[in-house]
Structure 1
Amino acid sequence: MTFQRIVAGVLLLLVAALAGAFYMNWKTLGQLRTVKAFVEGYVFAEAVAACERAPSTTPFKWNTGTRTAVVGLNSVRPDKYTVIANYTLVADGVYCDYDPIKKKADIGSNFLERD
């Protein structure tokens, strides 16, 4: 009888711990989405201006484009200590990667091979 109570108590604690972990994960992910949306909104105007000024043989026309889309804020970790962020925009099939740290835009580039 004592063994059954101990097992039931351990199971109850396990269920409570899992529920608490899932709740904290849900709250943290909600806050992360909010921060990401704020950063994307902050970077958007800079990205559009930099992409339209970037020298390229294929011009990037965000304001006069017929099909425009925001791919979003992404990051790549090429090694253990470096994180490279980029904000990608697409206008009429022309991709523009904007680096919010360096404030530099590259049109039609491959983000993974960028300096």
Structure 2
Amino acid sequence: MTIQRILLALVVLLAAGLAGSFYMNWKTLGQLRTVKAFVESSVFADAVAACERAQSTTPFKWTGGKQTAVIGVSSVKLNKDTIIPSYTLVADSVFCDYDPIKKKADIGSNFLERETF
């Protein structure tokens, strides 16, 4: 009888631990989505301006583009101890990667031909 009570208590503790872990994961992911949305909205205007000013054989026209899309924070590269985000915009099949740290935009016309950060 004692072993059954101990096993029941362990199962209850395990269930409570799993429930707590899933709840914390859900809360953390919600906060992460909020922070990502805030960062992307604060970088958007700078990214559009830098992409339209960037010199390239294929011009990037966000304001006059027929098909425009925001890919958002698309890739992150670990450079020693620094995390460098890349913000990507697409206008009429022309990709523009914007680095918010360097305030620099790189334009590529094809996803497979783009230079990776």
User: Comparing 92-101 with 103-112, which one deviates more in the overlay?
Assistant: 103-112
User: Which consecutive residues of structure 1, in runs of 5 or more, have no partner in the other structure?
Assistant: none
Aligned CA distance change for structure 1 residues 79 and 103 (closer, same or farther; 3 Å): closer
> What is the RMSD computed on CA atoms of the aligned residues?
1.5
Hey, what's the Cα distance between the residues in 1 that align with 2:115 and 2:18? 39
Alignment check: 8 A CA contact 1:75 1:83 kept? no
Alignment check: 8 A CA contact 1:43 1:100 kept? yes
Hey, what's the Cα distance between the residues in 2 that align with 1:39 and 1:5? 51
Q: What percent identity do the matched residue pairs reach? A: 69
Matched, 1:97 2:97: yes
Give the count of matched residue pairs: 113
Q: Return the letter of the residue paired with 2:42.
A: Y
User: Which consecutive residues of structure 2, in runs of 5 or more, have no partner in the other structure?
Assistant: none
Normalised to the residue count of structure 2, the TM-score between the two structures is 0.90
Hey, what's the Cα distance between the residues in 2 that align with 1:10 and 1:24? 21
Residue in 2 that maps onto 1:53: 53
Aligned CA distance change for structure 1 residues 34 and 63 (closer, same or farther; 3 Å): same
